[in-house]
Structure 1
Amino acid sequence: MTRSTDVQTALNEYWTQRSVPYDEYQQRPDRKDLDLAAWKQVFADALGTAPLDVLDVGTGSGYVACTVAELGHRVTGIDLADGMLGRARRHADAMTTPPTFLRGDAVAPDFPANSFDAVVNRYVTWTLREPDTALANWLRLLRPGGTLAVVDSTWFARGLHEGASDQFKSFYDEDVRQALPLAESTTIEPFVDRIRAAGFVDVEAVALTRLHELDLEYGVAPNHEVLTQYLIRGTRP
């Protein structure tokens, strides 16, 4: 049986190696402003306008954390991939009211209970080891009435290694694949079901049609295909 530490080490190393091209792709000048406007709308709709204490788990290069901070929220972003944190801090240095970026585990964030009004992430749940543990911890971190807002899709419905790069397959090997129960979901429902099972209420998945339109018009990253992305939102009772 693969230990969770071994799995997480592989994930950390992969995303550190990918941090520069991943971040640069998100900053593509041909669609940068359109993307930012679309993502601001996604999280404005999810979180509302009143300033909140927000935790971005698995923040990566900080795209969502910075976007949410620009909406006026007080944001903390955590990640275990040091390369990604380096990119996130570069973006924060250019902001007037930046997020705080810390090294931390998305599955087990090290904060007291009831610390945040919202927990957010993007493209994280598919690659979570122990997603049920993670969701239970996110629920614990939220104040009553707090919001969970995550974005993901069925990226690997045909199999985790189908069409993948050699670099991806070397880190997301068979042991890692077996440790990621949501990675090969064929619909968004398993994500929704686990969020409900964790104790969140009023859970719904909303298709992000504007992002889909932008992907159709401008294309997507190598080894990816145009898929519908979903915002899954839930509330702590």
Structure 2
Amino acid sequence: MVNLLNDIENYWSNRAEGYSEVNRGELSTIQKDKWLNEIERRLEGIPKESINILDIGCGPGFFSIILARAGYKVTAVDYTEAMIEKAKENAGELSSKITFIRMDAQNLLFDDEIFDVVVSRNLTWNLEKPDIAYKEWVRVLKKQGILLNFDANWYHHLFDDEKKREYENDRKMVASSNLEDHYTCTDIEAMEEIARKVPLSKIMRPAWDISVLSQLGVTEVNADCDVWKNLWSEEEKFNYASTPMFLVQAIK
């Protein structure tokens, strides 16, 4: 499994510049406001100045930046050093207000119950041990802390014929609409090789997430399978029509 973790790190190191460009695009458009509003409406009633947020798998820093701009105390972790460097670069002057640390999402080097909120986006599916990751995320949450995990059934089409047809139809629709194909902007072969090895590519979610978190003793867990409708750009909706993003929310 160590080799797989290295493969994942190498892949995202190579993607750092391209992924950072995507994040910068989001930060320059209304997308940043949509995402911040979605997160903040789930934190209503908690004084902002008292909220300590952990952004897991921060990538080039999108969540960390919008949350720090809004006045939250943010700690951001990612296993890929190149992503941390891009996040600092994108944060600019804000980087001094965000604590960036290279760390494995499946082995958090924090004490128990120190964060009020844990946020993550498009990470869980790409982990070797997502159940262990969830255990760690719940561990570092304070009592009544909130976990917000945005993800999708990325690459499930590699294991499901119907999903494969839907995925191929997405590619045709993107081409006919003269939009940028987000998949061709990646090293598809390398990503698919990793996706075949990680466990969640084979599993339809978020039922799995709800089951795992329930077993970890959270007081409340639910999924919003329509969250993508409010958050994705039109281009994203075309690109990922067959893999709609969901939100798993849990309260410790």
Q: Distance in 1 between matches of 2:70 and 2:83?
A: 22
Matched, 1:33 2:51: no
User: Larger helix proportion, structure 1 or 2?
Assistant: 2
Q: How does 1:72-221 map to 2 (within 5 A)?
A: 72-95=71-94, 98-159=97-158, 167-170=187-190, 172-173=192-193, 177-178=196-197, 180-206=198-224, 207-208=226-227, 209-212=229-232, 214=233, 217=234, 219-220=235-236
C-alpha spacing 1:145/1:189, structure 2 compared with 1 (3 Å): same
Structure with max Cα Rg: 2
- Gaps (5+ residues) in structure 2? 169-182
1:17 is matched with 14
Alpha-carbon separation, structure 2, partners of 1:50 and 1:96: 23
The answer on whether the counterparts of 1:156 and 1:186 sit within 8 Å (CA) in structure 2 is: no
Contact 1:150–1:232 (Cα < 8 Å) also in 2: yes
Any idea what the Cα deviations from partners look like across 1:162-186, whole Å, max 9, x if unmatched? Answer: 6766834335526x633x2222333
In 1, Cα distance between the equivalents of 2:159 and 2:56?
Answer: 22
For structure 1, list consecutive stretches of 5 or more residues without a partner in the other structure.
none
Q: 1:18 to 1:133 in 2, by over 3 A?
A: same
Q: Give the secondary structure class of the aligned counterpart of 1:190.
A: helix
Q: Secondary structure at the match of 2:30?
A: helix
Cα distance between partner residues in 1 of 2:99 and 2:147: 19
Distance 1:65 1:130 in 2: 24
Q: For the structure 1 residues 160 and 103, does the alpha-carbon distance in structure 2 shift closer, same or farther, using more than 3 Å as the test?
A: farther
The residue that corresponds to 1:228 in the other structure is 244
TM-score when scaled to structure 2? 0.80
Q: Hey, what's the Cα distance between the residues in 2 that align with 1:182 and 1:45? A: 29
Would the aligned equivalents of 1:113 and 1:142 in 2 still touch at CA under 8 Å? yes
Shift of 1:157: 2.5
Matched letter for residue 93 of structure 1: G
Give the Å deviation of 1:91: 2.0
What letter corresponds to residue 225 of structure 1 in structure 2?
Y
The offset of 1:89, in angstroms, is 0.6
Cα RMSD (Å)? 2.6
* Aligned residue in 1 for 2:178: none
State the TM-score, normalizing by the size of structure 1.
0.84
